[in-house]
Amino acid sequence: MNLLKIYSTALITIFFLSCSQPLDFKQLEEYTIMPSISSSLVFFSIDASNFNTIISGLPAAIEVNETTDFKLLENSFIKQNLVQLDFNFKIKNEFNRIFLLDINLLDAQSNTIHKVFDGFEISGNALDISAEVVLIIEDFPEVLNFTKVQFIIGLKDTTTILDATSLSKIEFKSSVVMHLESTI
């Protein structure tokens, strides 16, 4: 049995000599992924015809109103881990008139739960308007229930209609950045 003794001793010695610096696998519980996901949102280009109508035989200025579903927050991972929403807008107004813009976040029942813009003024002949609205979810938890976005845009001064022959346009672009934080 001498060989067994020598062999066992040698191997056990090797195991005792081998060592590892202390590792802490529990650190993984503190690991937080923090992705910022950018997504395009709504865009449009509208001309004078969208803002003019005939009421009782007379030309009149109207506002335009459009709503779309936006159901990214129905994804449970996004909903549970969303910490901030950054809305970014780029607007080009070729008219020499001022417009007002409302952007509302609506819930599934179309109730307004947050006003991103409430009468945001779009100056005339402004070709490079940029705006950013940051919503910290902790401050506005109701935003987590938004499933629709509503846009309302109209002339500030509705007493004078736009020139129907004008080739001017309003171009609107938007995006959203969803900041998420999730532990493993």
Partner 1 sequence: MRIIVLIFTFLIGLNSFSQNKQVLYDFAGLPQTLLLNPGLETDYKFHIGVPLLSGISSEIKSTGFSLSEIFAINNNTINDKISTVLNKIDANDYLKVNTQIEVFSAGFRFDKKTYVSFGFYQELDAIGYLPKDALTLINEGNTSYLNKSFSISEMIYKLDVLGVIHAGISRKVSDKLTLGGRFKVYSSALNLETTNNQGTFTTRLGNNNIYVHYLDNVNFNARTSGLISNNEYISDASTYIENSLLGGNLGAGIDVGFTYHVTPQLQFSGSLLDFGFVQHTKNIKNNLVVGSYTFEGIEFEFDSNRNYWQELQAASNEQIPIVNNQDAYISWRPAKLNVAIKHSFGEKRSKYCYDNTLKDFYTNAFGAQLYSVFRPLRQQFALTSFYEKSFSNKLQAKITYTIDDYSYYNIGVGVSAKIWKINFYGILDNLTKLSDISSANNVSLQFGFNLLFN
Closest distance between partner 1 and the C-beta of residue 65, in Å? Answer: 7
How does 142-174 read in b/e, with b if 16+ C-beta sit within 10 Å? ebebbbbbbbbbbbeeeeebbeeeeeebbebbb
Scan residues 143-162 and list those touching partner 1 (CB under 8 A).
Answer: 151
Chosen residue from 30, 128, 132, 138 binding partner 1 by CB under 8 A: 30
Nearer Cβ to partner 1 (2/159) = 2
113 binds partner 1 (CB under 8 A): no
Task: Write the burial class of residue 38 (CB in 10 Å: 0-12 exposed, 13-18 middle, 19+ buried).
Answer: exposed
43 binds partner 1 (CB under 8 A): yes
Indicate if the alpha-carbon torsion angle 127, 172, 35, 138 is positive or negative. Answer: positive
Closest distance between partner 1 and the C-beta of residue 124, in Å? Answer: 20
Is the Cβ–Cβ distance between 155 and 48 less than 8 Å? no
DSSP secondary-structure letter at 160?
S
108 binds partner 1 (CB under 8 A): no
59 binds partner 1 (CB under 8 A): no
Which residues bind to partner 1, rule: CB under 8 A? Answer: 1, 3-5, 7-8, 10-12, 14-15, 17-25, 27-28, 30-44, 46, 50, 64-66, 68-71, 88, 90, 151, 173-175, 177, 180
